[in-house]
Amino acid sequence: QKREISNFDYLMYLNTLAGRSYNDYMQYPVFPWVLADYHSETLNLTDPHTFRDLSKPMGAQTVERKQKFIQRFNEVEKSEGDLSAQCHYCTHYSSAIIVASYLVRMEPFTQTFCSLQGGSFDVADRMFHSVKSTWESASRDNMSDVRELIPEFFYLPEFLTNANHFELGCMQDGTVLGDVQLPPWADGDPHKFILLHRQALESDYVSAHLHRWIDLIFGHKQHGSAAVEAVNTYHPYFYGDKMDLNNIKDPLIKSTILGFISNFGQIPKQV
């Protein structure tokens, strides 16, 4: 509020407090999608419609999608299955594979991604290849995709180019994967994309609404009744501080939970 620290620095500080670290792919720093406009020729940072709704998680960015996740939550309540697994989302907004997929064009993340995928790149159509299509998938189209961003989206243009000339495959429509496709307002320039994206993060609109996203990820809407109301609950295994693995005697259950966390991610510690 006093403009003594940037939004970027503030988010990094919160991530650190919540136990997130560049040294752990499973608990990598998490940053928000801040824009919803990936189609305009010029970016208008004075128009509220340019921005993502920071008061809602990625699963509730459209009314239709939000209703589907609420329906999923309510259906689990009615079933005779394991009631503790009642949640809106069975996938997570940050995981080792999400981090590695964003940074796949740079080492050592290339090797990390391949090892997580069993030794090779993923099917080309599922690889991170376009900022716009990734936003559409995470905010609207794909019910198993609620991913957020990583800090590099706001300072590192190099991860958007395939400078190492990796053969990432060919999509079904014939497009050969290379550099990440950028929004029109970036003019095909990764440096311009990072510049404008960082300006968006530090804009007046985001400064005025960022606390709402922080409530969802690090604060009081992270779990409990406030999370249910905000359509922001995840599978119980994702809540690391709620799962006391030391009290679980069955080694199979313990390894299942650890495998779940390593594959799908973990909620940050509540700040």
Q: pLDDT digit string (tens) for 197-206?
A: 999 999 999 9
Residue-level pLDDT at 124: 84
| Percent of the chain whose predicted confidence (pLDDT) is above 90 | 73
Q: How far is residue 156's CA from residue 138's CA, in Å, rounded to a whole number?
A: 21
Going by pLDDT thresholds of 50, 70 and 90, the confidence category of residue 129 is very high
H helix intervals, the chain? 7-17, 63-78, 96-102, 109-116, 131-136, 190-201, 204-217, 225-229, 251-264
Axis crossing angle, helix 204-217 with helix 7-17, rounded to the nearest 10: 10
At the fourth CATH level, the homologous superfamily of domain 7-262 is: BEACH domain (1.10.1540.10)
Q: How confident is the model over 204-230, as a mean pLDDT?
A: 95
pLDDT confidence of 243, banded at 50, 70, 90? low
Rounded Cα–Cα distance for residues 77 and 144 (Å): 20
Q: How large is the average pLDDT for residues 133-143?
A: 96
Cβ neighbours of residue 174 under 8 Å, at least 6 residues apart?
none
pLDDT at 123: 85
Q: Which of 3, 36, 254, 229 is nearest to 140 (CA)?
A: 36
Q: What pLDDT is attached to residue 83?
A: 46
> What phi and psi values does residue 73 have, to the nearest 5 degrees?
-60, -45
Q: Over the chain, what is the mean pLDDT? A: 91
Determine the Cα–Cα distance for residues 135 and 145; give it in Å rounded to an integer.
Answer: 10
pLDDT at residue number 53: 97
Q: What is the mean pLDDT of residues 167-181?
A: 91
The torsion of the CA quartet 142, 70, 90, 120, rounded to 10 degrees, works out to: 0
pLDDT score, position 137 = 96
Q: How far is residue 219's CA from residue 186's CA, in Å, rounded to a whole number? A: 33
The highest-confidence range among 70-84, 116-130, 131-145, by mean pLDDT, is: 131-145
Whether 147 shows a pLDDT value over 90: the answer reads yes
pLDDT of residue 77: 63
| Residue, of 255 and 6, whose pLDDT is higher | 6
User: Does 81 have pLDDT greater than 60?
Assistant: no
- CB half-sphere exposure, 139, CA atoms < 13 A: 22
User: Could you tell me the pLDDT band of residue 180, with boundaries at 50, 70 and 90?
Assistant: very high
pLDDT at residue 3 in the model: 84
Nearest of 138, 147, 154 to residue 203 by alpha carbon: 154
| Residue that wins the pLDDT comparison between 188 and 90 | 188
pLDDT at position 119: 86
Answer whether residue 242 shows pLDDT above 70. no
pLDDT of residue 92: 93
* 36-67 core/surface letters (b: 16 or more CB in 10 A; e: else): bbbeeeebebeeeebbbbbebbbbbbeeebbe
Q: How far apart (Å, rounded) are the C-alpha atoms in residues 244 and 241?
A: 7
Confidence of residue 257 (pLDDT cuts 50, 70, 90): confident
